[in-house]
Amino acid sequence: MEQSGDFLPIFTVAKMTKVATTTLIGEYECRLDDKSRIILPSALKKQISPEAHDKFVINRGFEGCLVLYPQDVWDETTARMNKLNLFVKDHRQFVRAFNNGATPLSLDSQNRLLLPKMLLDYASIDREIILFAYSDRIEVWDKKTYRELLSNEPADFAQLAEKVMGNPNITSAGNDLS
């Protein structure tokens, strides 16, 4: 029981924003079937949050790959984009480019995803695919293109690591991450 003269601590609660807790990891080789479907590897499926409800969104990525987002991650990402000022030209261009080709996908009863032909053409994917899972997304690569990308890794990975991760509280743009 409080007595007169005792002080209770006062806490300030900052507004918290939901951050994706999905952490995907792994590299998986897959093959497109004749109908442009891939089977999502079971080891990867086990990592997908139940909140995704076996739904995904795929879109164009960087360096010529596709990016497969679990639905819950896509929702969080687009919520962040919806805060951009669309009266600013760079913001509009980014939102258009990011959403260009974005297509919702659902796993079928055999854990297959039907990949859109337009996006397969964009990424020059024929049959052999690498699914590269990291952070909260899965990059979808043509196997040959992915191997070429890996063979062109930075000459001095240690120097790149120091530049990018040397001060974990500062991004390359100078923004404090803490």
Q: Which letter does DSSP use for residue 40 in this model?
A: P
Radius of gyration of the chain (CA): 21
Q: Which domains does the chain have, with CATH numbers?
A: 24-165 (3.40.1550.20)
Give the integer Cα–Cα distance in Å for 74 and 94.
Answer: 16
- Give, for all 178 residues of the chain, the pLDDT tens digit: 444 455 444 433 444 444 445 699 999 999 999 999 999 999 999 999 999 999 999 999 999 999 999 999 999 999 999 999 999 999 999 999 999 999 999 999 999 999 999 999 999 999 999 999 999 999 999 999 999 988 887 777 888 888 888 876 665 555 555 4
- Cα dist from 106 to 47, 70, 75, 94, 166, whole Å: 16, 10, 15, 26, 39
Strands 66-70 and 103-106: unpaired
